[in-house]
Structure 1
Amino acid sequence: MHTLSLHAIPNIPEIKPGDDLAIILGDAIEAASLSLQDGDVLTSAHKIFSKAEGRIVNLAEVTPSEEAQGYADELNKDPRKVEVILQESTRVVRHFKRPTQNEGTMICEHRLGFISANAAVDESNSGADETLILLPEDPDASAARMQEALSKRFNAQIGFAITDTFGRPWRLGQVNVAVGLAGVPATIKEQGNSDAHGRLLSVTEPAFADELAAASGLVISKAGQTPVVLFRGLNWSFEASSAQNLIRSKKEDMFR
């Protein structure tokens, strides 16, 4: 029988700009009477990385552009927040405000290529009023540094994934997805394998990293201050990886 365990790492403190996250997370793992083994995978909500890297914006320091003011008027949004969203975006895919909404929505293509609401610019858990939190500048690089530091500290080959919460087209609710990867395969290519009845698989390619990210949401919460989850018992192979490999190419986009 295949057994998989998930452990939310407790007692991770409030992170401040400049904090050494590798030391903080390593200490928290040991304080929980845990260690790391070959084949373990850690996932983390991006916000602790964003805070440590100083990816916090003070709205008092933002001057909205004319474009931002236009979207703000139409969507009943703070024009300063809209300006930050535009600065993090390469394009606005759609924007709308339903009669039942107090504040409208901007679906944007983030500068890293992810399509999400508000270009992943968020107010929750940003650490102070009138501040916004952004994705890390380079989530793959952030994940790689953490993966290397924790692998060295615990003498184990592990994988690491940084996550954020995205909505999904045509489905209600949000799930965690991978926005930064190190060691963990983005997808598992099943093409050429056979199903249980011997039929050849031609398109099956599970989004392994996103499945990990989504599963982490089962044991963490916005108010729980447990952003890091340890997975043990997964079947995977270490490889050079990137969350960019999860983004569908524009030539395959049927809705542009």
Structure 2
Amino acid sequence: MTVAEVRCWAPDGMPEVAAGDDLAALVIAAAGALEAGDVVVVSSKVVSKAEGRQVVAEDREQAITDETVRVVAVREQPGGGLTRIVENRLGIVGAAAGVDASNVAPGTVLLLPVDPDASAARLRTALIAASGVPVGVLVTDTLGRPWRRGQTDIAIGAAGIAVVDDLRGEPDANGRPMGVTVVAVADEIASLADLVKGKATNRPVAVVRGMDHYVLDADGPGARSVVRLGNEDMFRQGSSEA
């Protein structure tokens, strides 16, 4: 009998990350020996900290404005303040443009990496050099979803892993060709990893084993390739524009 199985764990022992830290060395020290085909999933927060993306900003709202390309929706909250859904410089549509004020020094905020795909590629290169085995890397961030409560992690950066599995034209279980099925592989792995990383456990890194059939020899197209742009975006006109 063939069994489909995936293992996912978040190692303990990652120290607080600061600008200039060797993130690959910290990951290896916490995760231990990696195996060929492992996918290393890293929170964008620690990537941003290592890359010095923590900036002085007494006003988080101004920082959000600075990172915003397009405002999609604005809603006043019952307890005061506004929630802004915007498109940021990476083309990602979400709350607050990815500007984070949690777990950082007072008077500062944390911005997303400048190029999360490039960040993932650099980390992958360093991890392969340190471990001697091919691995994939995902950089993740937390987003809400339209029409559904709750947040989930998605991949905003990817290297060495197929971000989607395009099954269009492949036969289904009854032999009929599938017409629209494109599996969001990187996002599904990101969500799985978030279940073990948690939000307040100081475990910003997870290792996923069993997804080696999606791990690539090259860096691949990256997570930016899954962002719908222009006419592909069926919901581009937000409530503010409407």
Same fold (TM over 0.5): yes
Q: Which amino acid aligns with 2:41?
A: T
1:90 is aligned to 2:69:
yes
In structure 2, distance between residues paired with 1:236 and 1:138: 22
Q: Give the one of 208, 226, 229 matched to 1:246.
A: 226
Q: Give the one of 117, 129, 141 matched to 2:95.
A: 117
For 2:141, the equivalent position in structure 1 comes to 164
Q: Give the one of 71, 88, 110 matched to 1:133.
A: 110
In structure 1, distance between residues paired with 2:129 and 2:21: 19
Q: Name the SS of the counterpart of 1:217 in structure 2.
A: helix
In structure 2, distance between residues paired with 1:16 and 1:105: 29
The alpha-carbon deviation at position 237 of structure 1 amounts to 4.1
1:106 is aligned to 2:84:
yes
- Per-residue CA shift, 1:141-187, capped at 9, x if unaligned? 11101101111211111100000000000000000000100011111
For 2:150, the equivalent position in structure 1 comes to 173
Q: Give the one of 22, 42, 45 matched to 1:44.
A: 42
- Per-residue CA shift, 1:88-134, capped at 9, x if unaligned? 11111111114x242210111010100010101111222x1222111
For 2:240, the equivalent position in structure 1 comes to none
Q: Which amino acid aligns with 2:60?
A: K
Mark the runs of 5 or more structure 2 residues left unpaired by the alignment: 238-242
In structure 2, distance between residues paired with 1:27 and 1:158: 16
In structure 2, distance between residues paired with 1:153 and 1:20: 12
In structure 2, distance between residues paired with 1:219 and 1:211: 13
CA RMSD after TM alignment: 1.2
In structure 2, distance between residues paired with 1:3 and 1:254: 35
Decide whether the 8 Å contact of 2:39 with 2:215 is kept in 1: no
The alpha-carbon deviation at position 254 of structure 1 amounts to 2.5
In structure 1, distance between residues paired with 2:154 and 2:208: 15
Q: Name the SS of the counterpart of 2:166 in structure 1.
A: coil
Q: Which moved more, 1:103-112 or 1:51-60?
A: 51-60
The alpha-carbon deviation at position 9 of structure 1 amounts to 1.6
For 1:197, the equivalent position in structure 2 comes to 174
Q: Name the SS of the counterpart of 1:44 in structure 2.
A: strand
TM-score, normalised by the number of residues in structure 2:
0.92
Q: How many aligned residue pairs are there? A: 231
Q: Which moved more, 1:202-211 or 1:81-90?
A: 81-90
For 1:70, the equivalent position in structure 2 comes to none
Q: Name the SS of the counterpart of 2:206 in structure 1.
A: strand
The alpha-carbon deviation at position 14 of structure 1 amounts to 0.3
Q: Which amino acid aligns with 2:40?
A: L
1:59 is aligned to 2:53:
no
The alpha-carbon deviation at position 223 of structure 1 amounts to 1.6
Mark the runs of 5 or more structure 1 residues left unpaired by the alignment: 61-79
TM-score, normalised by the number of residues in structure 1:
0.87
For 1:226, the equivalent position in structure 2 comes to 203
After the TM superposition, which segments of 4 or more aligned residues of structure 1 sit over 3 Å from their partners? none
Q: Name the SS of the counterpart of 2:207 in structure 1.
A: strand
In structure 2, distance between residues paired with 1:51 and 1:229: 17
Decide whether the 8 Å contact of 2:7 with 2:208 is kept in 1: yes
For 2:19, the equivalent position in structure 1 comes to 17
